Amino acid sequence: MTTMPAPACAILVVDDDEVSAMRVRQSLEAAGYQVASVTSAAEAVQRIDEVVPRVVVLDLGLPEGTSFQLMHHLRAMPMWREVPIIAVASIQRIEDVQRAIRIGATDFITKPVNPDALLDRVKRRVGRNA
């Protein structure tokens, strides 16, 4: 069985707010990135091996703290330990950002997501222009 190589710059967006996820996805796709969106931490775990992301954009507002559980899971897996995680949070929840950084988030951005700021962060993490 032959497997296709992973996209050079796949990004996994994890956000239960479909409108927010769509905006993030559109911004990244317009810049030339290949994007997969999921609405839960469980779905992210199921799809991560298929997507093979170079960056994960993770909303910290997933229900029941599953954002943090997902970060713990990714950091415990050798294959995903080094994948950059850009945490997305509302400015009112700065304590969540601090917790995310302690767990292993690489960067963060506040909601509503500014497309230019998001692209700058992604470009820094993948080390290239799309």
Task: Note the CATH number of domain 10-121.
Answer: 3.40.50.2300
pLDDT in tens, 42-60: 999 999 999 999 999 999 9
Low-confidence ranges of the chain (pLDDT < 50): 1-7, 129-130
Question: Which of helix, strand or coil describes residue 55?
Answer: strand
pTM for this entry: 0.89
Rounded CA-CA distance 111/130 in Å is 23
**What pLDDT is stored for residue 5 in this prediction?**
41
Residue for token digits 């302690």? 102
**What pLDDT is stored for residue 92 in this prediction?**
74
Q: Is 32 exposed, middle or buried (0-12, 13-18, 19+ CB in 10 A)?
A: exposed
Residue for token digits 């943090």? 68
| Domain residue extents for the chain | 10-121
